[in-house]
Amino acid sequence: MPIHLTTLTRRSFLQAAGASVLLYGHNVQASAAGEVDADLVYLLNDTHIGEKHPEDSPVPNHLRQVVTELVNRTTKPACVLINGDLALKDGQPGDYRHFAKLIAPLQKAGVDTHLTLGNHDHRDAFYEILKEQRPDKPPVESRHIAVIETQHANFSYSTRCKRRW
């Protein structure tokens, strides 16, 4: 399931979303915090963040390290794609609270961040924590579809809606 944490204003988002009935298009724009390297896209997979990970655990530390590296760059990446299995096992609300805390510096730095949910994620628990990311009306009820457009490539994502198993 794609979730987009962009630096666009609500009005800009609605204009972009209105351009397509089935797809959400996002054109990379310059960040207020600095120049954007249109050739650089970071792809992170399977973060598996758990609420009960100790602070010094390698799993959250690796994500924290990458986020810090991205935020401290002199030029921002075109976007960051964090692909599925954000949560440790079965998508508990505390997992998403911990995850949101770890990626918050990306949003503060104005880095466009796109999230997809995988088989370890639970979308209702995710939206319980990140309420502002729930789409008012998904374009296709049984599927989640997204296209993230960058200068050299478009990234697309499509998955069936999953609920707690």
22 to each of 27, 40, 137, how far by Cα in Å? 16, 27, 11
Domain ranges in the chain? 2-135
Each residue's pLDDT tens digit in the chain (165 positions)? 566 666 655 444 444 444 332 233 333 344 444 689 988 999 999 999 999 988 789 999 999 999 999 999 999 999 999 988 999 999 999 999 999 999 999 999 999 998 888 888 888 898 899 887 777 777 776 565 677 888 888 888 776 544 443
Homologous superfamily of 2-135:
GpdQ, catalytic alpha/beta sandwich domain (3.60.21.40)
pTM of the predicted model as reported, rounded to 2 decimal places = 0.74
Report the relative pairing of strands 2-5 and 113-116 from DSSP bridges: antiparallel
